[in-house]
C-alpha cells in the first residue's frame, strides 16, 4: 500500500538517509537490559520516500529466511520467517529507527545486519533483525512470538512495569554488568515521547 514501491541496498539507504548515532536503552522481555549506541535513521524517512497510501494503517516487517546459513530455521517448531509489526503511527514516531550500524561501526550479522528495526519503548524482540522486506498493510500483522504464545507476547509489547508476563514480574530488570536489579520504567523511560500513542487504550488488555 505505497505509491512508490522500491528496493534499496543497505548502501543506498546509508547514502539517502544518513544514519546518526542514537543511544537507546534496550529492555529484554525476560528482564535483561542494556544501553546501545546505534547508527540509524528514522523509519519515517523511508516511509516518506515510498509514500504510503491513505489505506495503510500498519507496517509489516519480514526478516531473512535462509535455513542453509541458519540451521535453526530448519526446525518446524517456529513459523519462520521471523516477522514483526507496528501500527503506522508507532512506525512514524521519531524514536523508531532502522539501524545499519552500532558502536560507531557496521552492524554485525549477529546483531541484525545489514539492517534492523529498533523500537526502544518496546520489548527487545519487537526490534526485528536482518530485515528483507517492509510492507504497508491495512491489517494488524502476525508476529512470530504472538503466533506461538499469544497469552505471553501481545502485538504491542510495550515495556510496562505494571503489566507482568504470565510467568514473571516486569517490575524490575537487570542491566547487563550490574548485580543490583533496577526498577523498570514505563515505556522504558520514553513516556514523554510515546505515551500519547496509547491514550485511552487499556494496556492490560493491549499488552
Ligand X SMILES: Nc1nc2c(c(=O)[nH]1)N[C@H]1C(S)=C(S)[C@@H](COP(=O)(O)O)O[C@H]1N2
Q: Which is nearer to ligand X, 86 or 128 (CB)?
A: 128
Minimum distance, C-beta of residue 123 to Mo ion, in the bound complex (Å): 9
The two beta strands, 116-118 and 105-106, are unpaired
Minimum distance, C-beta of residue 74 to ligand X, in the bound complex (Å): 14
Grid cell, residue 140, equals 494488524
Minimum distance, C-beta of residue 29 to ligand X, in the bound complex (Å): 8
Q: Closest residue (Cβ) to Mo ion?
A: 125
Query: Looking up cell 510492507, which residue turns up?
Result: 135
- The conformation of residue 185, written as its DSSP 8-state character, comes to P
Q: Does 125 bind ligand X (CB under 6 A)?
A: yes
Q: Which is nearer to ligand X, 27 or 52 (CB)?
A: 27
* CA-based nearest residue to 113, from 104, 103, 100, 98: 100
Residue 23 CB partners (closer than 8 Å, separation 6+) = 35, 36, 37, 38
Which one of 107, 119, 128, 136 is in contact with ligand X (CB under 6 A)? 128
Q: Which is nearer to Mo ion, 14 or 157 (CB)?
A: 157
Which one of 19, 42, 124, 141 is in contact with ligand X (CB under 6 A)? 124
Residue 108 CB partners (closer than 8 Å, separation 6+) = 102
Phi, psi of 193 (to 5 degrees): -85, -25
Distance CA 194, CA 94 (A): 10
**59 touches which of Mo ion, ligand X, none (CB within 5 to 8 A by kind)?**
none
Region from 12-20, 121-129, 155-163, 170-178 binding ligand X, contact rule CB under 6 A? 121-129
Q: Does 63 bind ligand X (CB under 6 A)?
A: yes
- CA torsion sign for 112, 85, 96, 98 is positive
Q: Does 129 bind ligand X (CB under 6 A)?
A: yes
Q: Which is nearer to ligand X, 108 or 138 (CB)?
A: 108
Q: Which residues bind ligand X (CB under 6 A)?
A: 63, 82, 111, 124-125, 128-130
Amino acid at each position: 500500500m505505497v505509491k512508490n514501491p522500491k528496493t534499496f541496498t543497505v548502501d543506498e539507504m546509508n547514502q539517502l538517509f544518513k544514519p546518526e548515532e542514537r543511544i537507546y536503552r534496550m529492555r529484554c522481555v525476560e528482564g535483561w537490559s542494556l544501553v546501545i549506541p546505534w547508527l540509524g535513521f528514522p523509519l519515517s524517512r523511508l516511509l516518506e520516500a515510498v509514500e504510503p497510501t491513505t489505506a495503510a494503517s500498519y507496517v509489516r516487517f519480514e526478516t531473512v529466511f535462509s535455513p542453509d546459513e541458519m540451521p535453526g530455521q530448519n526446525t518446524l517448531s517456529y513459523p519462520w520467517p521471523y516477522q514483526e509489526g507496528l501500527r503506522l503511527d508507532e512506525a512514524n514516531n521519531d524514536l523508531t529507527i532502522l539501524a545499519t550500524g552500532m558502536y560507531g561501526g557496521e552492524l554485525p550479522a549477529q546483531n541484525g545486519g545489514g539492517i534492523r528495526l529498533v523500537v526502544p519503548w518496546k520489548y527487545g524482540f519487537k526490534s526485528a533483525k536482518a530485515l528483507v522486506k517492509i510492507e504497508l498493510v491495512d491489517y494488524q500483522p502476525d508476529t512470530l512470538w504472538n503466533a506461538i504464545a499469544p497469552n505471553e507476547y501481545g502485538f504491542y509489547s510495550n515495556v510496562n512495569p505494571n503489566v507482568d508476563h504470565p510467568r514473571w514480574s516486569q517490575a524490575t530488570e537487570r542491566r547487563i554488568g550490574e548485580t543490583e536489579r533496577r526498577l523498570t520504567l514505563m515505556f522504558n523511560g520514553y513516556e514523554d515521547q510515546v505515551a500519547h500513542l496509547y491514550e485511552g487504550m487499556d494496556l492490560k488488555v493491549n499488552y
